[in-house]
Amino acid sequence: AQSVTQPDIHITVSEGASLELRCNYSYGATPYLFWYVQSPGQGLQLLLKYFSGDTLVQGIKGFEAEFKRSQSSFNLRKPSVHWSDAAEYFCAVDTGGGNKLTFGTGTQLKVEL
């Protein structure tokens, strides 16, 4: 069965610093890959997704992610973090295209002013 690993439970960065959140998946083929953000009181919001093509994908709020097949990774990056980016971030995979998502355990991002 497929699995998703987010090795960092908590990350703290200073506002304006760069950010990279790690995500690794376990699956025989290339899955469909997603990054979601969850803020308190709000539903998960899709930041970006990768289905095929260019391995560097751009998302909303200045986020980007790079798919690396050799490393089974889909890390999320942002060049300059804003205080409003503090939230929980989830990586997810869909291995069959049927919208059944498998989520990682999430990374809680704290931004220091």
Q: Which residues bind other proteins (CB under 8 A)?
A: 4, 9, 32, 36, 41-46, 49, 51, 90, 94, 96-106
The residue (of 15 and 95) whose beta carbon lies closer to other proteins is 95
DSSP designation for 72 = T
Are 76 and 4 contacting, i.e. CB atoms less than 8 angstroms apart?
Answer: no
CB of 70 to other proteins, least distance (A): 24
CB of 52 to other proteins, least distance (A): 9
CB of 105 to other proteins, least distance (A): 5
- Backbone phi, psi, residue 53, to 5°: 85, -145
Of 97, 51, 96, nearest in space to 74 by CA:
51
CB of 42 to other proteins, least distance (A): 6
The residue (of 43 and 70) whose beta carbon lies closer to other proteins is 43
The residue (of 97 and 113) whose beta carbon lies closer to other proteins is 97
Q: Tokens at residue 102, please?
A: 């498998």
The residue (of 64 and 94) whose beta carbon lies closer to other proteins is 94
Length of the chain equals 113
Are 26 and 34 contacting, i.e. CB atoms less than 8 angstroms apart?
Answer: no
